[in-house]
Amino acid sequence: MSIKHVQEYRDGELARELAAAIRSVTTGNIRLMEVCGTHTMSIFRHGIRTVLPEEITLLSGPGCPVCVTSQRDIDCFIALTSLENVIVATFGDLMRVPGTVSSLQKEKAKGCDVRIVYSVFDAVEIAAENPDKEVVFCAVGFETTTPTVAASILMAQQRNIPNFSVHSAHKTTPAALGALMETPGVAIDGFILPGHVSVITGTDGYRGVFEQYQVPSVITGFEPVDILTAVLMLAKQAAEGKPALENAYPRAVSQAGNTKAIAIMGQVFETCDATWRGIGEIPESGMALKPEFRSFDALERFDLTVPDVGEPKGCACGEILMGLKTPEQCPLYKRTCTPAHPVGPCMVSSEGSCAAYYRYN
């Protein structure tokens, strides 16, 4: 984003005008869920909650990719580190996420070869430089990162780098929204839809779930003016009783999205059932490698089986991700679960709700 855009979308006077407009159109209690973890952090960082009327409640949703990764997938990543001649490559957010008995950081401290990378293509290069080792990339994330992982697999195939593989814990955003609407106890009057994901999916990516559930939905960016604009649009929809799927982020999001990225993703991956932390199994919400690319599937390559032992006792990450609880309502929050000693991923990830509450609230 240019400096011009930063200045425009952080304009204090415009933000005050938007906050006043929100107060003027709000006619009743509204529960809005920001689906994206980056939105959660931005809302706290800029004090958005403090300028909204008390009738509007903002809930954090399942938009933190590390947070929604199941305990079994975390345990799989950790189990891969114990295999002989294996290098595990990961983004930094995953390092401290607790598994059932360990973490990637603890395994690295024991001497396992775990490396932080800033791009999946770094992992491909590590594999090229270490032909006598197997290199496994821990693949988490939504539609934003899945195309790059797909591209890395195509690159490894084209360059004949057979010692590169991935364990895919990728997930799709619209499927989670539908699952939330089907969950007893979940009350959501509007979705603040993610900006980064929507750059890939476009507005059309949410068309199916919106038409089925008719929940007011607005795509927006991450600056204060972006977020307040989305809240105003949602408040107007609620006041008028006219739900709509709207795009408040047209400078980055189009109707069709990034068709090239969607095509690459579809070339390598296919949808599958996936387990989300706290939510459970959501049909067709995961991304598995297609049969012709299964040679790059780490779990199949190493015939690795890890039991599903469930989430840590007392951890409310799952309920927080569904908007059923706030971090302060978790019995472990700020007691046994802190950034220094996290119990669940919501306290670890830079996009986690608990981490945001702990830092800013």
The angle formed by the CA atoms of residues 42, 48 and 50, to the nearest 5 degrees, is: 140
Give the per-residue pLDDT at 3: 46
* pLDDT bucket at 5, cuts 50 / 70 / 90: low
Q: In which domain, by residue range, is 84 found?
A: 68-172+258-301
CA distance 286 to 90: 19
Q: Is the pLDDT of residue 286 over 80?
A: yes
Whether residue 6 is predicted with pLDDT greater than 70 in this model: the reply is: no
Where helices occur in 241-294 by DSSP H, the ranges are: 259-268
With respect to residue 142, please indicate whether it lies within any of the assigned structural domains.
yes
Q: Is the pTM of this model over 0.75?
A: yes
Q: How many CB atoms lie within 10 A of CB 325?
A: 18
Residues 354 and 320: beta-carbon distance below 8 Å = yes
Cα distance between residue 16 and residue 38, in whole Å: 22
Angle value at C-alpha 181, between 177 and 182, nearest 5 degrees = 115
**Over the stretch 308-357, which tens digit does the pLDDT of each residue have?**
887 888 999 999 999 999 999 999 999 999 999 999 999 998 889 999 99
Q: For all residues of the chain together, what is the average pLDDT? A: 93
Q: How far apart are CA 63 and CA 36, in angstroms?
A: 4
Whether residue 23 lies inside any domain: the answer is no
CA–CA gap between residue 179 and residue 213 (Å, rounded): 11
Alpha-carbon span 250 to 219, nearest angstrom: 9
* 74 pLDDT higher than 70: yes
Average pLDDT over residues 55-78: 93
Please give the sequence-ordered ranges of beta strands (E in DSSP) within 220-318, or none if there are none: 245-247, 269-276, 280-289
Instruction: For residue 145, tell me if it sits in a domain.
Output: yes
Whether residue 56 has pLDDT greater than 90: yes
Confidence of residue 11 (pLDDT cuts 50, 70, 90): confident
Q: Which two tokens stand for residue 42?
A: 């931005």
Domain presence at residue 274: yes
The count of other CB atoms within 10 Å of the CB of residue 74 is 25
Residue type, 202: G
Q: What is the pLDDT of residues 136-168, one digit of tens each?
A: 999 999 999 999 999 999 999 999 999 999 999
Residue 277 lies in a domain: yes
The pLDDT of residue 361 is 77
Look at residue 99 and tell me if it is in a domain.
yes
Give pLDDT tens digits for 87-129. Answer: 999 999 999 999 999 999 999 999 999 999 999 999 999 999 9
Q: What is the DSSP letter of 38?
A: H
Element (H, E) at 191: strand 190-193
Residue pLDDT, tens place only, 164-190: 999 999 999 999 999 999 988 888 999
Residue, of 185 and 295, whose pLDDT is higher: 295
State the CB neighbour count (10 A cutoff) for residue 92: 13
| 245 found inside a domain | no
Model confidence band, residue 4 (pLDDT cutoffs 50, 70, 90)? low
- Number of structural domains found in the chain: 1
Contact (Cβ atoms closer than 8 angstroms) between residue 267 and residue 291: no
**pLDDT in the model for residue 24:** 96
Per-residue confidence (pLDDT) for residue 312, from 0 to 100? 87
Residue 145's domain is classified under what CATH number? 3.40.50.11740
Q: For residues 171 and 275, what is the distance between their CA atoms, to the nearest angstrom?
A: 9
Cβ 289 vs Cβ 153: under 8 Å: yes
pLDDT at 1: 45
**Tokens standing for residue 105:** 């950081």
* Cβ(140)–Cβ(169) below 8 Å: yes
pLDDT at 68 over 70: yes
CB 282 within 8 A of CB 175: yes
Look at residue 93 and give its three-state secondary structure. helix
In 248-280, which positions are buried (b, 16+ CB within 10 angstroms) versus exposed (e)? bbeeebeeebbeebbebbebbbebeebbbbbbe
Residue 343: C-alpha distances to residues 57, 109, 279, 288 (Å): 26, 19, 18, 28
Average pLDDT score over residue span 228-244: 96
> Does the residue 22 lie in any domain?
no
User: Residue 2: which pLDDT band, with cuts at 50, 70 and 90?
Assistant: very low
Q: Pick the residue with more confidence: 274 or 307? A: 274
